[in-house]
Amino acid sequence: MIWLKNIGNCILLWTVLITQPYAQVLTEKIQVHVWSYYESLPFKTDSSGAGLSQDLVDLLNQQFSNSYDFQLETIPRIRLDYYLQQELPGIVIFVNWTWMGDNNKQKYLWSHELMKGRNEVVSSMKNPIQYQGPSSLKGLSFAAIRGRRYLGLDELMDADVIHRRFVNNEGSVLLLIASGRVQVTSMAKTLLMSHIQKHNLQGKLFVSNKPLFTYTRHIMVSKKLPEVYKAVQEFTLNIKHMPKWQAILKKYGLD
């Protein structure tokens, strides 16, 4: 009977050794591609890739440390569009359906709100401008990023009713406004607050009570990733109440 017991122990040991690799496979984390096309502040703050986008991905990885490995890739918008055309599985962060050609929210899966956004109307504190609509900017000089569109203002700028002055980047725009050389501009709040900090412009710029427009930012998920979508929905449902997320927003002046 002892030999039968020994055989049983051997079989048990053999079973454990055989099934162990399979157990490791079953518990292996699933890698998820995370795409962002934002290459400026606050989403990307330096060449290492640090910034708001990486902070969000780090928070996702902390939340789902046993199941998913979210990997951020910051890419140009044209490459992101190619990935989406090829229907590659992944998620896109900090976007809105209107920017992604999905007004009916049928092509992709959309998370709960990550954060609210505003395109602020910005002027100099020495010559503050309260925006009341496009007509309130008639006759003013407007600092515009080359290649960027401004909702409700482009036609007036094309007609030179609003005097457009092209500038290459957000930092230069705000420095021109602060100096009084250009009267007004519009910029996403996320960019504005980061550049105010970067260029020490606190107290030098006036932000209108009324924004150019408002929107919400979300996580867009490929329909090929329904389980990831469930996790993202759980995450974004509770994100407003996460102290770590509030600390991240505060770091970039977005609280």
Packing angle between helix 189-198 and helix 170-179, nearest 10 degrees?
Answer: 70
**What is the spatial distance between Cα 55 and Cα 244, in angstroms, rounded to a whole number?**
10
CB-based contacts of 248, cutoff 8 Å, min separation 6 = 52, 55, 56, 59
**What is the spatial distance between Cα 139 and Cα 162, in angstroms, rounded to a whole number?**
5
**What is the spatial distance between Cα 251 and Cα 255, in angstroms, rounded to a whole number?**
8
pLDDT (tens digit, 0 to 9) for every residue of the chain, 255 residues total? 444 445 445 444 444 444 444 444 456 899 999 999 999 889 999 889 999 999 999 999 999 999 999 999 999 999 999 999 999 999 999 999 999 999 999 999 999 999 999 999 999 999 999 999 999 999 999 999 988 889 999 999 999 999 999 999 999 999 999 999 999 999 999 999 999 999 999 999 999 999 999 999 999 999 999 999 999 999 999 999 999 999 999 998 888
Of 179, 120, 168, which is closest to residue 145 (Cα–Cα)? 168
Q: Between β-strands 213-221 and 109-110, what pairing exists: parallel, antiparallel or unpaired? A: antiparallel
- pTM for the structure as a whole: 0.81
Indicate if the alpha-carbon torsion angle 191, 197, 199, 203 is positive or negative: positive
DSSP 200-231: T-TTTEEE-SS-SEEEEEEEEE-TT-HHHHHH
- Cβ(176)–Cβ(182) under 8 Å? yes
Collapsing DSSP states into helix, strand and coil, what is residue 95? strand
Other Cβ atoms less than 10 A from the Cβ of 78: the count is 8
Write down the pLDDT at residue 171: 92
Q: Which domains does the chain have, with CATH numbers?
A: 29-116+215-251 (3.40.190.10), 118-214 (3.40.190.10)
Write down the pLDDT at residue 139: 98
- Cβ(254)–Cβ(115) under 8 Å? yes
**What is the spatial distance between Cα 198 and Cα 196, in angstroms, rounded to a whole number?**
6
What is the Cβ-side half-sphere exposure of residue 13, based on CA atoms within 13 angstroms? 6
Write down the pLDDT at residue 28: 85
The angle subtended at Cα 181 by Cα 177 and Cα 187, nearest 5°, is: 25
Write down the pLDDT at residue 148: 86
